[in-house]
Amino acid sequence: MLLTEADPKGLVRESYRIEGITYAECRSIFMDWALSLPVGGNVADALRALIAHYALPAPDHPMSRVLHEALVPAEAPRRRGGRAARVAG
C-alpha cells in the first residue's frame, strides 16, 4: 500500500513531527486518521505501511505505540447480564 493511501491527510506523518507530543494526543490524532480512511479500505494494511515507514525508525515515539496497539485484535464482546449472570455465583 502506498503511503499516500495509508495516510491520506498526512495526520500520522505530522504527528511524528510534533515535538513533545503525548500518547493521549497521538490517540486523538489516530482517531482522526481512522475516520479519514476510505470506506472499505484495508485498515490493517494501512497500519502496517505506517508502522514500516514511521514506527520502526522511531520505536519510542508515542504514535508508534498507538499504531502497534491498533494492530492487536479486539477481544470478542462478552455477554453481560441476563438470567445466567443473576443466578451464577
Reported as a single tens digit per residue, the pLDDT across 4-39 is: 899 999 999 999 999 999 999 999 999 999 999 888
Reported as a single tens digit per residue, the pLDDT across 51-68 is: 999 999 999 999 999 999
The answer to whether the predicted template modeling score (pTM) of the entire model surpasses 0.75 is yes
Whether 6 contacts 41, CB under 8 Å: no
Q: What are the sequence ranges of the domains in the chain?
A: 3-73
Coil, helix or strand at residue 72: coil
Q: Which three cell numbers stand for residue 28?
A: 486523538
